[in-house]
Structure 1
Amino acid sequence: MRSALGALISLSISAPAAVFAAEKAVEVDARTRKELQAMESRFAEAIQKRDDKTLAEILAEYYADSIGDEERAASKRLVLARARAGTLVSYPIERELRFTVSAQTYTIEGEAKSLPRLVTDKPVETKWVQVRRIWIKKDGHWLLILQNVREDEKTEREEKKK
């Protein structure tokens, strides 16, 4: 199971968003899209409320949470511990929302705000990140199997110019 998880993380990290979209540009039907949007809301709400019981129901046993191009990922157990401690960050997708389906996996991609972690009196520029979540439906229940959060490509290019 670890090798399958490693392969999934590597694929998610190494493949650009365009590859996932081009893989099989099948439009997700309206009913499935509505179900996935409800699960996305439930996922974000569980993080905000530190509800590790709801998160445990949503996350697959082999769930992986990765940042950027790192080949390491946080496991379900670590994510639940972060939720209980209040350190788990929610990234609700707000812009450029895309749904794709390939075989039995449903990918939701888009941009989310990355809020500053430090409280300051100074105005802070809104930073956007690219978010990709992969869901499956097993025995009639939606399970989140992967979340990858990376710097927005536009923001990354602008920061390199500075």
Structure 2
Amino acid sequence: MKTPLDAAALKNRVIGLLARREYSRLELIQRLRQQAASVSILNNVLDALEQDGYLSDQRCAESFIRQRLGQYWGPKRIRYELQQKGIPASLINRLLEEADPDWDALALNLATKRFDLSGRADLKEQAKRLRYLVNYGFSYDQAQRALKTDLM
């Protein structure tokens, strides 16, 4: 069994992780809880790194939103994933409002990337396309507007 990490080793480990990508505080706690000598030491290290500007839930959320918008994710899925990372709902809502993406255009771009929208589709194909967009986090209304269908 490995020896538990002390404060200095934990700090180095966290900085190494943050050098690769942004992590939320909850993600780091979940990832390093087993390796730390104690949870209080881990929290103290994370507090210090937060004060020094190395760790920021806002920066993590902003980075995640930018990345997922580039992958054509919808608002519901982005919200869900950020909540799983421990980001507060108020921060998520504020950052999504600031990003102000055109959700209908994103849904249309995703549908165009995945399906040939030039011809008419039967009901089964329309339902398949609608489910695809909903699975990416778009609401039924957004998916319908993007596909210009009236399924329900």
TM-score normalised by L of structure 1: 0.20
Structure 1 or 2: more helix by fraction: 2
TM-score normalised by L of structure 2: 0.21
Structure 1 or 2: more strand by fraction: 1
